[in-house]
Amino acid sequence: MTPEISTREKAPLTQGEKTLSNLLLLFENAIKIPLFRCQRCGECILSSTAFICSQRCPKQLRNGPCGGTGEDGSCEVYPARTCVWYRIYYRSQLLGRIDLLYKYNRIHNWCLDKTSSWLNVLRKRIEPPIPFTRHDKQAVE
């Protein structure tokens, strides 16, 4: 069975889950927005992006930078900003987390937008990124 390349929508949230989601979201936002500039996609991949939110990218890329990163690491769309994926790469290097950049992040489920990522993990509405085998054939876990 090949893994799903997109995050599929499971059954809709029950009323109880919605209440819990909103409650959790209060805490989640209070932590993630100031710390990681979280964009509240509800399908958090911070753990594989060296704790920098990739969704600040103007193209909301989830699998690495586009071809427009400047010589100085600037974003081509907003040149005053640094490309988020440029920062993710160098921080991953610093933290020894380069392996995680090889993972495939699934096509986003927009039904999860502005919901609690923590609840979505708990309720198994989102799954971890797909590990791709590295070029040196060593499995990335």
- Residues near another protein (CB under 8 A) are 2, 4-6, 8, 58-73, 76-77, 85-86, 89-90, 98, 101-102, 104, 106-108, 110, 132-136
**Least distance in angstroms from the C-beta of 5 to another protein:** 4
Of 29 and 63, which CB lies nearer to another protein in the complex structure? 63
Q: Which of 22, 47, 39, 38 is nearest to 119 (CA)?
A: 22
Of 40 and 106, which CB lies nearer to another protein in the complex structure? 106
Of 22 and 79, which CB lies nearer to another protein in the complex structure? 79
What is the radius of gyration, based on Cα positions, of the chain? Answer: 16
**Least distance in angstroms from the C-beta of 133 to another protein:** 7
Residue for token pair 């509800």 = 42
Q: Are the beta carbons of 79 and 70 closer than 8 angstroms?
A: yes
**Least distance in angstroms from the C-beta of 31 to another protein:** 27
DSSP 107: B
How many Cβ atoms from other residues are within 10 Å of residue 98's Cβ?
Answer: 14
